[in-house]
Structure 1
């Protein structure tokens, strides 16, 4: 930090206007700090690009890595401001081991910047669809089913365990980030809708990504938690097959993954021929694969009432993954985070308590129920050609 006395001393209160304010303060970060840690937003630090800005890698003075999303609100107008406010509003109210943590924000003239914990292994999309190009090893089945459970736990929390019920609306592999331990966290909360009664929210404009949109949402614009269940089912199919939700390079009868895979499910004997070519499953693994395939079929049922809730998905996936639990339910429910800590201190504490979930009580939610515009993924969107924005 170039001789400064740590992040804590460099953070300062900024005028937040009508933005939600984090309880505890000390989350407004000066632009000078962010310039220092990202090497003045250099090209070499770019992690990804999207329609709403660029994500940069940053390194704090103690070696802690962060990700900084930088948005030009002047060019974006109200869209950028709403997206920025939405992400802040949601992430002030939720904190979970399988949701990417927001560490702070910065308002600098026309710029809006959000600071997240860094997820060094990038996106699930990269590991499923670009692993050869990027020099990765293909994900094993155990890694894939663990990622599926992590995502299910994160979305279950959003739907029913947080202080309010939230609907993500843009669940897909490019919004699922992986740490060095290959554990997953759900990211990108700019499209999140609050469901006031825990069930549904009426939406007037379609937002999300083609290939992941539930039929009733595309037809009526009504958003329920079952919209996320459908998208989760699509992600499960991608995990199983290594194929994208929409693939124009495939013949017409196979280009739409859900339609094709649901035909595969009519006869379970077809499943071994449909799964990712990198698998060489033994009998136990194939049994596990078939259970996940069946769950994917249920999650993508045409009628929303036929789809399970995310708690059911967690219950199906949990036995397929080695069990781990917090030391006690009380610890999971009541553990809190002191937002007066510096960024590296907070991040270190969150990482140390990987198996606890917490939420911020009493944070301002004035923006949470606002109409939230579409936005791209946390990293450069793998599915730009199929986005419905």
Structure 2
């Protein structure tokens, strides 16, 4: 009897495995899993042929943009649902790491100000990430466009600032473990049909223990948005995201890109220009000309002040995202602390070989320079990683 039961049990296991293999081998659109604790759908496994059909074999007409480690395409599923597919470079080791990182992290987080990862595909040599499609693309496509920037009145700009702050607050404080995004910038903030912001591109994100002050790591991110202690020393903490967010606030208010500004040659960056204007009492000069007539002075002054607090050199002086959000809403904070002069990265200075060089300075003097490749800007503003020896 024992032998018979053992044989039957073995046959049953074999049959179940065969059935499972048959199901997984079918060219179905997706395989879904549901989180038993939340009832929410988890990451979906997409079939490569279905993604190719949706994007017309990744046709150039469906190309939405080029990222640091791959290209993003628009796709339309058989039911009419639109998707955005990031096709990671198979030649890039970093692209493979980004794929695993996003699947591991983004599938576990849900927030209205974070882009929704629908699923992924790892078939053959292809590594694909499938996201919800957001019709207004990224913030930089509108904010820095000479005509489209007029669509962003002050109310919409303030709403975008608050939405990004909520998303970062969730990542830093409300997720199971703090998550550092490491690449907060206008091109990584997507806008839905109502111009509501969603933080995207978590390929460089990493978990961070709450009892850690910082970790020493290889530098990855985008020049002009990286905090100085991270860009020059490799010291990473959630305050690095705070710094990047401060830069983005100033970009949203001014309508000028931090790494490509057309200002006086006396200024090496947007941050330096805003700081000088703030210290000289000329905050009005900072405001985008297209919205200046409709901006409440108290609100825009507060946002500029908060942006400068976020971009301070001393990490201990930068506020947490909890404090930042409260200050932006003018909740429980009546008198804001005065910001201390930030470190400026000169983004416009030229050396003898006509390559862009970077130097760091405070508001009063030059304190040093660096030859690290980390501080050379990316030509297409893509995320970059500086690999150091072990």
TM range (shorter): 0.7 to 0.9
| 2:219 counterpart residue number | 206
TM-score (norm 1): 0.74
Shift of 1:158: 0.4
| 2:283 counterpart residue number | 271
| 2:135 counterpart residue number | 120
Contact 1:194 1:201 in 2 (8 A): no
Structure 1: how far apart are the matches of 2:248 and 2:180?
Answer: 16
| 2:126 counterpart residue number | 111
Question: Alignment partner of 2:83: what SS?
Answer: strand
CA deviation profile, 1:324-382 (whole Å, cap 9, x unmatched): xxxxxxxxxxxxxxxxxxxxxxxxxxxxxxxxxxxxxxxxxxxxxxxxxx9xxxxxx99
Q: Which runs of 5+ in 1 are unaligned?
A: 1-6, 14-22, 321-373, 375-380
Question: Alignment partner of 2:276: what SS?
Answer: helix
- Asked if residue 35 in structure 1 is aligned to residue 35 in structure 2, the reply is no
Shift of 1:129: 0.7
| Candidates 145, 160, 177, aligned match of 1:147 | 160
Query: RCO (CA 8 Å, sep 6+): is it higher in 1 or 2?
Result: 1
| Candidates 158, 171, 191, aligned match of 1:158 | 171
CA deviation profile, 1:15-59 (whole Å, cap 9, x unmatched): xxxxxxxx9777111011111211222111111123422111011
Structure 1: how far apart are the matches of 2:86 and 2:183?
Answer: 18
Structure 1: how far apart are the matches of 2:118 and 2:77?
Answer: 13
| 2:78 counterpart residue number | 61
Question: Alignment partner of 1:127: what SS?
Answer: helix
Shift of 1:319: 5.3
Q: Which sits farther off after the overlay, 147-156 or 36-45?
A: 36-45
CA deviation profile, 1:142-178 (whole Å, cap 9, x unmatched): 0001000000000110001001101111100000000
Contact 1:147 1:183 in 2 (8 A): yes
- Asked if residue 280 in structure 1 is aligned to residue 289 in structure 2, the reply is no
Q: Which sits farther off after the overlay, 167-176 or 216-225?
A: 216-225
Question: Alignment partner of 2:292: what SS?
Answer: coil
Structure 1: how far apart are the matches of 2:170 and 2:42?
Answer: 25
Q: Which runs of 5+ in 2 are unaligned?
A: 1-25, 33-39, 332-373, 386-390
Shift of 1:223: 0.5
Aligned residues: 309
Shift of 1:240: 1.0
| 1:317 counterpart residue number | 328
| 1:81 counterpart residue number | 96
Contact 1:72 1:110 in 2 (8 A): no
- Asked if residue 97 in structure 1 is aligned to residue 112 in structure 2, the reply is yes
